């Protein structure tokens, strides 16, 4: 019986060379010495494909694995493949190789002169690697300059190219550090891409009312009066349940008003935003506040 084990060709860079390969077939998935029924170690003549002529018992489970040996290090063993002697074909032992992963270039979808204190999008450059691993997940971090953590999204497999920050509200007038790490299917990670940015001070807009909501009560809004303001745009979003949902979007001319409690949905997290229009027809920067809903039990 002929059993063919196949390894994927590595992508080499610099002075890295693929010198040989190892192949093993065993009756035990742990590949103990007593369980190995066929092997070829340090095989320089069959670097990517090895044919074993061997009689396998159709009533016994067999396992196969392989790895690549380079001039600078020995690669990891491939995933273990279960062999079925009743229906054997060529066995592909493809294994993502340890690789070098480039540091990502990161940006925010706003001018660095004006970044809102929430609801901004982090954008990440494409993965560049010298191996055959692909991007598996991304880790996102936002800290202040003293390393206090304000936002994280770890092991994120759904937002590999961009991420909307909508569950954190940053303090205005402070400087923050954004870090993004790319992680590949081969188990390798990039160095952190780093972006330092600041949120402009925004003293014109000050919310005086509570940011704690009660399930059976309307939202009472009270803002610091400003004689130069002729219109206030207010938006309410529910967040924390996937895409943010806009629940309220109104313009008003007063600094105290109420948003109806009937707008609450299944979320316990909400964002409130304000933009002022001034008497000279200019506008303020947008300012967000985080609201937490307390449900009755």
Is residue 11 within 8 A of residue 59, CB to CB? The reply is: no
Average pLDDT over every residue of 59-63: 84
Q: What is the pLDDT of residue 89?
A: 47
Confidence of residue 255 (pLDDT cuts 50, 70, 90): very high
Cα distance between residue 120 and residue 109, in whole Å: 7
The confidence score (pLDDT) of residue 14 equals 67
Tokens representing 277 are 């229009």
pLDDT band with cut points at 50, 70 and 90 for residue 217 = very high
Extract the tokens encoding 276. Answer: 């002022």
Is pLDDT at 156 greater than 70 in this prediction? Answer: yes
What six digits make up the tokens of 157? 């497999």
Among 57-66, 153-162, 247-256, where is mean pLDDT lowest? 57-66
Q: For residues 119 and 288, is the Cβ–Cβ distance under 8 A?
A: yes
CB 263 within 8 A of CB 248: yes
Quick one: what percent of the chain has pLDDT higher than 70? 92
> Residue 122: exposed, middle, or buried by beta-carbon count in 10 A (0-12, 13-18, 19+)?
buried
Beta bridge partners of 214: 294
- So what's the pLDDT on residue 117? 96
Q: What is the mean pLDDT of residues 261-269?
A: 93
pLDDT of 36 above 90: yes
Show the domains of the chain with their CATH numbers: 2-92 (2.60.40), 106-198 (2.60.40.10), 212-294 (2.60.40.10)
CA distances from 52 to 111, 183, 287, 289 (A): 62, 36, 68, 67
Mean pLDDT of 229-234: 97
What is the rounded CA–CA span in Å between residue 91 and residue 9?
15
pLDDT tens-digit map of 89-147: 455 565 555 567 888 999 999 887 899 999 999 999 998 887 677 899 999 999 988 88
Check pLDDT > 80 for residue 174: yes
For 210, the token pair is 């509570």
Q: Name the nearest CA neighbour of 176 among 145, 206, 150, 152.
A: 145
Kindly state the average pLDDT of the residues 18-36: 92
CA-derived radius of gyration, the chain: 29
pLDDT digits (tens, 9 = 90+) for 275-296: 999 999 999 999 999 999 998 8
Indicate if the pLDDT at residue 247 is higher than 90: yes
């Amino acid at each position: 019986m002929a059993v063919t084990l196949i390894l994927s060709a590595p992508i080499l860079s610099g002075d890295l060379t693929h010198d040989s390969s190892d192949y093993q077939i065993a009756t035990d998935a742990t590949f103990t010495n007593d369980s190995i029924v066929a092997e070829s170690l340090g095989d320089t003549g069959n670097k990517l494909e090895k044919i074993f002529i061997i009689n396998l018992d159709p009533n016994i489970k067999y396992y196969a694995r392989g790895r690549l040996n380079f001039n600078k290090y020995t690669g990891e063993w491939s995933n273990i493949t279960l062999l079925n002697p009743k229906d054997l074909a060529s066995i592909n032992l493809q294994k993502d190789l340890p690789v070098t992963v480039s540091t990502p270039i990161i940006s925010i979808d706003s001018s660095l002169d004006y970044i809102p204190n929430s609801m901004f999008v982090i954008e990440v450059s494409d993965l560049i690697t010298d191996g055959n691993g692909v991007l598996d997940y991304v880790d996102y971090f936002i800290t202040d300059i003293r390393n206090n953590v304000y936002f994280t999204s770890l092991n994120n497999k759904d937002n590999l190219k961009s991420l909307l920050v909508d569950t954190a509200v940053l303090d205005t007038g402070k400087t923050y550090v954004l870090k993004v790490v790319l992680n590949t299917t081969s188990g390798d990670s990039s160095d952190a891409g780093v972006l330092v940015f600041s949120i402009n001070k925004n003293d014109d807009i000050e919310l005086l009312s509570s940011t704690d909501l009660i399930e059976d009560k309307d939202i009472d809004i009270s803002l610091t009066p400003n004689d130069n303001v002729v219109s206030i745009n207010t938006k309410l979003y529910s967040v924390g349940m996937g895409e943010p949902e806009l629940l309220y979007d109104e313009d008003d001319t007063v600094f105290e008003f109420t948003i109806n409690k009937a707008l609450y949905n299944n979320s316990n997290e909400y964002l409130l935003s304000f933009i002022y229009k001034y008497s000279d027809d200019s506008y303020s920067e947008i300012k967000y506040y985080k609201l937490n809903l307390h449900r009755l039990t």
